[in-house]
Chains A and B, each alone.
Chain A
Amino acid sequence: DTEVTQTPKHLVMGMTNKKSLKCEQHMGHRAMYWYKQKAKKPPELMFVYSYEKLSINESVPSRFSPECPNSSLLNLHLHALQPEDSALYLCASSPRSIQVPANTEAFFGQGTRLTVV
């Protein structure tokens, strides 16, 4: 199984709503990532989790709250978003171990298309 599964595929939410994006992988990867991609732009890194601990937060506003409850799951909790937060949110995973060299590929999910109204 080389898949990263993201749910839901599409989400429309109001600015006062609370919602969560979910990401799951069963490849035993211990590094997981959230990226945000606006239309016609490249993906931008938001968060990196390494061994279920947050290791990088790219100055993301607190209305985005990541969570890694176990080695297979990654969540992104959303609260009080703005219309400019509408984007494709991508999850990725890769092996992470000192014993494994960094020259390994990352696997991406198909993304959640988020629209904030």
Chain B
Amino acid sequence: DAKTTQPPSMDCAEGRAANLPCNHSTISGNEYVYWYRQIHSQGPQYIIHGLKNNETNEMASLIITEDRKSSTLILPHATLRDTAVYYCIVRPGVWSGAGSYQLTFGKGTKLSVIP
């Protein structure tokens, strides 16, 4: 089962920052937070991941609370091409058996960027 909770949908005006929240209150110490997105009828695309520090790359920023029970993905200047379903996933950071590397998807947040 997915270990994360996300709002089912959000709207964001084009050019504004999109802030997508995720709750992962049962996350354990060696688990990372990953974000993927899936544009309609395409395969999921990796965005960013982090353990406890805030992370930034060319696509987005990831803010993880100090207690690690929640995080926020930030798309700084949303465009129409960012309309997609965004998945927050918790995944082990150390090898602990065959299931360690799989991704278990929750329901995600459908982000609609409005012109």
The residues of A with any CB-CB pair to B shorter than 8 Å are 4, 31, 33, 42-45, 48, 50, 55-56, 88, 90, 92, 94, 96, 98, 101-103, 105-111, 113
- A90 near B93 (CB under 8 angstroms)? no
- Chain B interface mostly: loop
Contacts of A92 in B (CB 8 A): 43-44, 103
Provide the bound-state CA to CA distance between A98 and B85, in Å.
32
Provide the bound-state CA to CA distance between A102 and B49, in Å.
12
- A96 near B45 (CB under 8 angstroms)? no
Contacts of B41 in A (CB 8 A): 88, 111, 113
Provide the bound-state CA to CA distance between A45 and B32, in Å.
19
The residues of B with any CB-CB pair to A shorter than 8 Å are 2, 32, 34, 41-46, 49, 51, 85, 87, 91-95, 98-108
- A102 near B91 (CB under 8 angstroms)? yes
**B41 smallest CB distance to A (angstroms):** 7
- A105 near B46 (CB under 8 angstroms)? yes
Provide the bound-state CA to CA distance between A31 and B101, in Å.
8
Contacts of B104 in A (CB 8 A): 45
Contacts of B98 in A (CB 8 A): 48, 50, 55-56
| Closest residue on chain A to residue B103 by CB atoms | A106
- B43 near A42 (CB under 8 angstroms)? no
Task: Please provide the 3 A-B residue pairs with the shortest distance between their CB atoms, ordered closest to farther.
Answer: A108-B43, A55-B98, A42-B105
Provide the bound-state CA to CA distance between A106 and B101, in Å.
9
Provide the bound-state CA to CA distance between A63 and B43, in Å.
24
| Closest residue on chain B to residue A91 by CB atoms | B43
Provide the bound-state CA to CA distance between A65 and B105, in Å.
23
**B69 smallest CB distance to A (angstroms):** 19
Provide the bound-state CA to CA distance between A99 and B114, in Å.
44
- B99 near A48 (CB under 8 angstroms)? yes
| Closest residue on chain B to residue A95 by CB atoms | B101
Contact of A109 among B34, B43, B91, B95 (CB under 8 A): B43
6 further interface pairs, Cβ-Cβ under 8 Å (given A42-B105, A90-B44): A42-B2, A42-B87, A42-B107, A98-B95, A102-B94, A105-B34
